[in-house]
Chains A and B, each alone.
Chain A
């Protein structure tokens, strides 16, 4: 179990600070469980490159890959579990994530983040975190920025 080290308040967050990393091995059970909560009940498994190994083997990456949404969700959880409780990633917030390489089923992924900027206005504070996810071969599978807001 990953321990939570939550920041107590906005004032305790410093630019340059790194977040405790999150690690995940992309097991097929986790990928399938995510599919259960993300995809509609009517979506076809036959043409899903995250769930159908035979279909995936015949196409671009030659094997099962992790849905990018699952990768982004882990990045969000890493950030959300570190920020103070009054932070929100889904109110006055922005996520911008690129997927330079596929995350393959079986990969071991490390999710990391660094605070790059903080700002404040009359209503809320904002914390900008540059985030990255790399697999065991140091290939970047996701990179970008999550900007969260904290109510004042």
Chain B
């Protein structure tokens, strides 16, 4: 094996991505937990934690800049570098969605709530977190089949998202409207987390096969 330093940089880049993934998962779970328990302090923690996620993304971006400039990666190394960069951006966005969920939870804390709907959102959030977990594992294991299974999980989240909208529209109590509108956005954020996990799955397929395909079309 030649180019030991180079290989060490690539290995380190990939472990940085997995670490960013762990940090982002803490944010997702924290946001959902705060929604479930209406814990405003936890919301603040999730919001503040976003700087850590952003810093990890920028660190990965800087490492990639150096690798491209100094090592000129090609073939599977190039694909790894590109896939890590894209996945890191997707993770950073998942962090942003978690922040939005936390902010909306805070804003809605004083409002009357629909318990059943909150439970549905939390279940949706748990599924989204599971998808992020699986997308990171599929990337690490170069598991294209596992990455493609994310589409089926995403479909469940999409369905719940549509059901949340229907439920909010059916709410007749006047005081529930503001809360309901905010929860539509929360559902949308969780739905986007699922989409981002699928995006990471697509990067896994690109990394392994060299071909990039959207797993599902835009109409999905």
**A and B part of one assembly:** no
Q: Report A's interface with B, CB cutoff 8 A.
A: none
